[in-house]
Amino acid sequence: MFRKKIFIIFIIIIFINSMNLSIIYADDAEDSEIIDWSDELIETAKTSDEPKINSRAAVIYDRKSGKVIWGKSENERRPMASTTKIMTAIVVLENVGLEDIVTVSKKAAGTGGSRLGLKVNDKITVNNLLYGLLLVSGNDAAVALAEYVGGSVEGFAEKMNEKAKDMGLENTHFITPHGLDMDNHYTTAFELAKMADYALNIDKFASIVNTKNIGISINGRSKNLTNTNELLGNLYGVNGVKTGFTNGANRCLVTSVNRDGMNIITVVLGADTKKDRSNDSIKLIEYAYTNYEIYDMKEIIHEKYEEWKRINENRIVVVRGKRENLTTCIEELENYYIPVKKIDKEKINVKIFNISELNAPVHKGDYVGKLCVYIDDEKIVELTISANISIGKLEFIDYLKSYIINNINNMQMGL
């Protein structure tokens, strides 16, 4: 009977391992899957057709303009697994020094899933922990950093949520620093792209996620790390960012690419397999670079505005104003760069609409008109044209002065 029980337990253990039911693991055994980096796969992805992907949510985000080039359920809240660690790194980098020494707690050392391999009372620099966090997706590194920066995992999560709020991420919420499946831990593909964009502006973060292999030291022990990002070093222009996997989130991948001055971020969430997330990411990347380029709108906007100004500005009448005409100014864009389909460049046109008269008093900044940029009939930019000066309203005394001056002039002319 005893042997029978042992046999049954043994079978159950084998079954659990074979079914990969370790639901708390992130970035686990998926990395043993071999990806076929054939030129045919990449060439096939270079198409003008809309991408057809396996992932549940995805986005192509242009970093220069902050615009979405393409999306699929990009605003849907979803678990994001270890791509969470992008925000973990942001909070760490903005709050502590790289050479600070962290002593690893029992809780950090005992954290499951993908691991850096920390032991209780290990001493390790924040710098080395960040490499362990972002290259091998160490959940133990995430907890060690969280406890050091936030005092506890819960305290650190508060800092993560405060940062998300500061960044305007309204559909993002954190419970943990590592991304293991938890209720109320979520983001969207779009907001994850914005998170990555912010992080990549931090030089140290950009350097770490662009590292394929590195040696670090843990409590005097050397350890070699290899980046889990399967696109890094295999696809032209890829320079980061982060992988993710849990049973709840499925396969996730955030990728940064810079080719010929066009810098994009792609995000795929909820892919069924590692191969799917890789193929989906390649499809999005090649679709973007095959079909889009970044167009600088500044020249055409200011050229058309100055042309309108020469012809039309003096035609705008100020009724009962101390001046009959006004001068104008146009709203400035923070960023004039817009991703435009290459085939649509010749379809860009500018239209300006303005009112013909204003009643005094006119204040500086009052609305005069608007300049709109279209591609065919789709409006892609709208800028306000405003009064550049204030013009007071004529009062009784002004009319009286005008009357007296006119009479004096008439009398002088009569003489």
Active site residues: 82, 85, 137
Using CA atoms, how far apart are residues 303 and 296, in angstroms rounded to an integer?
13
Contacts of 339 (CB under 8 A, 6+ apart): 62, 65, 67, 69, 292, 293, 294, 295
Dihedral of CA 299/301/307/309: which sign? negative
Using CA atoms, how far apart are residues 314 and 327, in angstroms rounded to an integer?
8
Q: Can you tell me whether residue 105 is helix, strand or coil?
A: coil
Please state, as a whole number, how many other Cβ atoms lie within 10 Å of the Cβ of residue 139: 29
Ranges of H-type helices in 217-363: 274-291, 298-312
Q: How far is CA 257 from CA 52, 241, 264, 371, 397, in A?
A: 20, 9, 5, 33, 67
State how far Cα 148 lies from the chain centre: 27
Contacts of 47 (CB under 8 A, 6+ apart): 286, 287, 290
Residues 104 and 120 sit within 8 Å (Cβ to Cβ): yes
State how far Cα 379 lies from the chain centre: 23
275-300 b/e with 16+ CB inside 10 Å = b?
bbbbbbbbbbbbbbbebbebbebeeb
Residues 167 and 261 sit within 8 Å (Cβ to Cβ): no
Residues 253 and 268 sit within 8 Å (Cβ to Cβ): yes
Write phi, then psi, for 203 (nearest 5 degrees). -55, -45
The strand pairing partners of 352, in sequence order, are: 371
Using CA atoms, how far apart are residues 187 and 73, in angstroms rounded to an integer?
12
Q: Which of 96, 188, 99 has its CA nearest to residue 147?
A: 96
- The three state secondary structure string of 185-224 is CEECHHHHHHHHHHHHCCHHHHHHHCCCEEEEEECCEEEE
